[in-house]
Chain A
């Protein structure tokens, strides 16, 4: 009977998952288990809960993370070791994404163990992949607009780390990094934090403006969308708005990007709104 058959399959699949998770706690079998589990992580909704509540699994994943530290400086990460730790990060991303484990994950401060990866600068593929995957975990945390996540991140060095990647990372890493900064800005506390001192605003503004200048060359539309959104959000803050009146890069004011944004109504509207917000004629109510 098909129903029975399906049930049987699901049961087998679940047993397989449990046995792979058990393998994670054994260093000798961990690498293979990481490969297979990270492939299955989309298929099984409760994986995050099982990973968290199983004895020793989070501890084992943390061991995978810190074991790579000695290979960061000087840069000695091979493709295979990078893959292995990225599979462990993929499972942490799963825990970071799930609403029932996210708070526990933050409470245990586990994201901070990823910061040494974000702090690397080697341009080789194993390092690019490691940074991108680590950003993915932070990206999963900020995705749901949770103020607790933002307040946790603001107590850490995530913004400077993201800014550096926005400046010098691969296009994909830049996109995830600016996504994180955008999510922080969209939060009230995040916007207030970044605009609280001129130095912070200046750090963010400078990196955004460098990105605009790079975008004139690369025309990467996906990044451009995020840049426009970040500027638009900054313009919600009165002091930042004042500063941006002088600072907004010229290519956003003239028609430089009109061709790239031809089919993107939403971003075009954001850009128009930004220019309206910055126009001198608008009288702000006091």
Chain B
């Protein structure tokens, strides 16, 4: 279906409000005075919107680039003897989407949490909510409740952008297979890869070996597994549980989610006077 390759796919919705998020925003009824307050809901929506805009471009670019390179290299290697470009394309899509989505999610979560809280705090003050009427704790609850929603938006953007980019970067691999099949009808070899791996082909057992007539269905399953990578934590826990983690491990204390305060977890050593934080040093290296 997604076979058309567009060279410059714009990021979705980057210059317009993230309109469709509004209906999914959760506001915990325990927040004093906030229940049924449409004004607050609107401000939360604006805060999410601003926070997303702030980081979406660099996060998506970086995630898509890295996922694209890894996918290209591994797919070219593993599909070197696969004649069917559609199988190759399908595996590449599954891999790149899920790697890009996972990378985007893990990269955006913390900056998004901080930025959403900052924007919400500012918006509330600007709109006449006093610090007494909505506490800092209430702000953090709202942010936590809506963090996954905001992250999902960025994840989706990365997944969408990754597909046309990998189609682009594998375009010649796809067309070579097609041309080769139409002209010769002979088994396909990507010689640039095959010359490097041919000496292993005789020793490797069946499931690990590339076949002259293409990969087996159970081999392709490895790439289908990319679509089963968990993205949110309880999903991850379930999947590990499903596979082979003993349930007793999950009930253990390790799995209770910690109250989260990254600022305090970073530098809590004896070194009290910290002239530079890791984040600052990161910025300095980016210069």
Contacts and interface: CB of A to CB of B under 8 A. Distances in A.
B269 A168 contact: yes
Contacts of B107: 116
A210 B271 contact: yes
Interface string A22-37: 1001011011100000
Contact of A74 (B245, B258, B268, B278): B258
Interface residue tally on B, bucketed by range: 35 or more
A57 B208 contact: yes
B78 A200 contact: no
A186 interface: no
Contact of B237 (A18, A76, A110, A112): A76
Interface in A220-239: none
Interface in B18-43: none
Interface of B: 66, 69-70, 73-74, 77-78, 95, 98-99, 102-103, 105-107, 109-110, 196-197, 200, 204-205, 207-210, 215, 219, 222-223, 225-226, 228-233, 235-237, 239-240, 243-246, 249-250, 252, 254-255, 257-258, 260, 262, 265-271, 274-276, 278, 280-282, 284-285, 287
Contacts of B250: 78
A81 B245 contact: yes
Contacts of B73: 104, 107-109
A38 interface: no
Nearest to A194: B285
Given A55-B207, A67-B230, A80-B249, A121 B243 contact: no
A203 B282 CA distance: 9
Interface string A54-68: 111111101100111
Interface residue tally on A, bucketed by range: 35 or more
Contacts of B271: 167, 210, 213-214
A122 interface: yes
A160 interface: yes
A168 B196 CA distance: 43
B229 A63 contact: yes
A123 interface: yes
A31 B244 contact: yes
B255 A78 contact: yes
A273 B249 CA distance: 54
A109 to B, nearest CB: 5
Contacts of B228: 27
Contacts, number: 202
A21 interface: yes
Contact of A53 (B200, B266, B275): B200
B287 A18 contact: no
A121 B240 contact: no
Contact of B243 (A18, A27, A200): A27
Contacts of B260: 73-75
A19 interface: yes
A76 B241 CA distance: 14
B281 A160 contact: yes
A195 interface: no
Contact of A59 (B69, B78, B269, B281): B78
B265 A55 contact: no
A79 interface: yes
A55 B254 contact: no
Interface string A123-156: 1101000000000000000000000000000000
Across the A-B interface, give the 10 residue pairs with the lowest CB-CB distance, nearest first: A164-B278, A56-B222, A108-B73, A199-B284, A54-B208, A203-B281, A70-B236, A160-B282, A69-B106, A66-B102
Given A74-B260, A113-B99, A203-B280, 6 more contacts: A21-B208, A53-B196, A74-B258, A76-B233, A78-B250, A116-B107
B204 A53 contact: yes
14 contacts: A27-B228, A31-B243, A55-B207, A59-B74, A59-B78, A59-B95, A66-B102, A66-B106, A69-B105, A73-B260, A76-B257, A80-B246, A164-B281, A214-B269
Contacts of A160: 278, 281-282, 285
B237 A202 contact: no
B282 A157 contact: yes
Contacts of B280: 203
A80 B248 CA distance: 11
A72 interface: yes
Contact of A56 (B200, B223, B278, B281): B223
